[in-house]
Amino acid sequence: MKLPRVTVVIAFLNGETFLEEAIASVFSQTWQDWELLLVDDGSTDRSTAIARDFEGRFPERVKYLDHPLHANRGTSASRNLGISDARGEYIAFIDHDDIWVVSKLEHQVAILDRYPEIAMTFGRLKFFTDEPDLPIHEGVAPLRVPSGVLHPPVVLTQSLVGDAGMLWTSGTILFRKRILIAAGSFETDFPDMGEDAIVWLKINLHFPVYAHDECLLLYRRHSRASGIRDWRKGRIAAGWATVMRWIYQYTQQQPAAVQQWAIPIVQEALFRSLLGEIRSILRNQSSSFLKRYKCLARACVSLVWCYPELINKNSCMQLIKKQLGSSVVLQCCTHDNPRTIKRH
């Protein structure tokens, strides 16, 4: 039996509203040499039945997977389950609420075939929503790096400390499966927040990648999405700081040649993220003044105690001024702009 070139993984949890639309965008691809793995992360709604129905109708192309006892183990563990069952040379992920552009796989398979040295290829995305109160980036998100083959540290630098960062998600990527596995796949310590960023940063520390200057994904914003829930609860800054703490420790464990160029970039990004976490604490109007300053004290102690080497940098005060403004006390009494999300 001929193996598919591409494995597509959709990990889902209670995705009955949008799952069929995501699956339809896979079936609509102009590149048809794929298998589809539907990984159920413990759903309790109709999405389990929807996935099993597709498996029943298309058994040669679609396979349903779930964890033992139908457990909920998080996005990272669910994607890793898909990776472990994947037969394709290349592997792609699409969230259950997103939609691929029809030529997505065709373009990206051609790129990976043409450039055997690259670990993955990614492209642009377009946000959309049916809920007018949600903030979205208008138009197709910019690539913010040159198109073509990019070697470290180009993408890592732009992602962490470049102007405006980068707007991306795993749904825009096609991975070379063997390299994704060699990089450790998805980290289960990050079950549902930051898992994409960890994989993105690990690969861009070590491997060349290809930036494709075309829109490949329609990224849906809706009130039930985990990112929107985290934003509304003020968790984004703390979540990004947690990702950066992990990446900082990971970078320190890499070969000396990687550490030499990567640690200064990651240090600056970590410092910014910790200051961003402090700023978020100061602006959290849902907590009392006293509680905010207790949180602030803990965050500052963490910054000084855990990362003293960051405090000693000459640019420390400039970064503090840029991140927190000239008066952190005044910012205690300000409100976040609900129309702005600074980082994906």
Give the pLDDT confidence of 69-116 residue by residue, as tens digits.
999 999 999 999 999 999 999 999 999 999 999 999 999 999 999 999
Name the strand (E) or helix (H) holding 183.
none
The answer on pLDDT for 212 being more than 70 is: yes
The answer on 38 and 109 residing in a single domain is yes
Whether residue 341 is contained in a domain is answered as no
Number of separate domains in the chain: 2
The answer on 213 and 257 residing in a single domain is no
CATH number of the domain encompassing residue 135 = 3.90.550.10
Q: Determine which of 84-93, 111-120, 199-208, 222-231 has the lowest per-residue pLDDT on average.
A: 222-231
The answer on pLDDT for 29 being more than 70 is: yes
Whether residue 188 is contained in a domain is answered as yes
Most confident of the following: 174-183, 219-228, 263-272: 174-183
The answer on 223 and 119 residing in a single domain is yes
Q: Over the Cα atoms of the chain, what is R_g?
A: 21
The answer on 281 and 243 residing in a single domain is yes
Structure tokens at 38: 């539907």
- Average pLDDT on 24-41 reads 98
The answer on 90 and 32 residing in a single domain is yes
Mean pLDDT for the chain?
Answer: 85
Name the strand (E) or helix (H) holding 125.
strand 120-129
Whether residue 50 is contained in a domain is answered as yes
Full residue range of the structural domain in which residue 132 is found: 6-229
Q: Model pTM?
A: 0.85
Whether residue 249 is contained in a domain is answered as yes
The answer on 270 and 220 residing in a single domain is no
The answer on 255 and 289 residing in a single domain is yes
Whether residue 1 is contained in a domain is answered as no
| Contacts (Cβ under 8 Å, ≥6 apart) of 276 | 237, 240, 241, 323, 342
Choosing from 229, 250, 265, the residue where a domain stops is 229
CA–CA distance, 248 with 218 (Å, rounded to integer): 31
Select from 181, 9, 3 the least CA-distant residue to 87: 3
The answer on 180 and 116 residing in a single domain is yes
CA–CA distance, 199 with 176 (Å, rounded to integer): 13
The answer on pLDDT for 58 being more than 60 is: yes
Q: Determine which of 107-121, 274-288, 324-338 has the lowest per-residue pLDDT on average.
A: 324-338
The answer on 220 and 140 residing in a single domain is yes
Choosing from 192, 210, 229, the residue where a domain stops is 229
Choosing from 181, 210, 229, the residue where a domain stops is 229
Whether residue 337 is contained in a domain is answered as no
CA–CA distance, 195 with 74 (Å, rounded to integer): 10
The answer on 144 and 261 residing in a single domain is no
The answer on 312 and 185 residing in a single domain is no
Whether residue 343 is contained in a domain is answered as no
Whether residue 340 is contained in a domain is answered as no
The answer on 307 and 213 residing in a single domain is no
173-207: buried (b, 16+ CB within 10 Å) or exposed (e) per residue? bbbbbeebeebebbbeebbbbbbbbbbbbbbbbbb
Q: Determine which of 55-59, 173-177, 327-331 has the lowest per-residue pLDDT on average.
A: 327-331
- Average pLDDT on 292-304 reads 70
Of residues 139 and 247, the one with the higher pLDDT is 247
Percent of the chain residues topping a pLDDT of 90: 63
